[in-house]
A and B are shown apart, each in its own frame.
Chain A
């Protein structure tokens, strides 16, 4: 069994493996399928509670992961400021691993794909990939709303 404490390294290896052997388009397809089929808990929370559901989802996952972050929630915005991403910290700390070069890209693909169709605009801005600093910002955007 690969432990969940070793998963991030295996995940980075998976991204590198798919891109090297099957191309970047296939890696994007993997992330899209992961968003569509795996992250149902985030989708359910966004559908039921909107911005508040996002706050609830990341409060749970980032507490378990031990992230150094700040979340703010208002009527018109959910903002997650990641000061030190726990995943990139694992990749940086384990120097025997060569991290997948675009590791942070998966967050951009996954979360936009889940959140935007509920009538929001999700932006992920990576400030420093090596040190795991980024901002995830979500605001209402009725034009993105898709029929369910």
Chain B
């Protein structure tokens, strides 16, 4: 069982806010794409090799560890859909009064996009940051 220290979500949000406030949103995006490439290199490789079940395992592990209220299922056999009814990161930050930066949910979209693009997949993320909810879709497509 991994150790879970949820204050890290607040620290990550602070980092995003610092980047955007000081260097602009383009630098924040550059940081997130670099992080996606480097931190998630094993996931990118697994997605290439095993396809969507690799991503399904990843999200299932992460969301279970974080205690998220979520649903994960395949739609039309070719699209993995992750629905987060109550985001564990946003919930924790609000409960402990950490600032949730403006682009917090957008960071998920950017990281997902970079991981998928490098593995030959496409993704869409629809989010409502105020409500702490999102729907993420993943399917094969795009150039590897």
Interface size class of B (residues with CB under 8 A): 35 or more
Q: Which of A7-15, A77-85, A116-124, A134-142 contacts B (4 or more CB under 8 A)?
A: A7-15
Total number of residue pairs linking A and B with CB closer than 8 Å: 95
Beta-carbon contact of A22 and B11 below 8 Å: no
Interface size class of A (residues with CB under 8 A): 20 to 34
* Chain B positions 34 through 69: 1 when the CB is less than 8 Å from some CB of chain A, otherwise 0: 110011011000000000000000000010011000
Main secondary structure of the interface of B (DSSP, over half): helix
Beta-carbon contact of A2 and B4 below 8 Å: no
Query: Which of A2, A4, A97 touches B5 (beta carbons < 8 Å)?
Result: A4
A17 and B31 in contact (CB under 8 A), knowing A6-B39, A30-B18, A97-B39? yes
Cα A41 to Cα B95 in complex, Å, equals 13
List the B side residues contacting A18 at CB < 8 Å: 19
A13 and B3 in contact (CB under 8 A), knowing A33-B18, A34-B14, A38-B10? no
Beta-carbon contact of B6 and A4 below 8 Å: yes
Distance in angstroms from B60 CB to nearest chain A CB is 12
List the A side residues contacting B87 at CB < 8 Å: 1
Cα A98 to Cα B64 in complex, Å, equals 28
A14 and B31 in contact (CB under 8 A), knowing A3-B62, A3-B65, A38-B11? yes
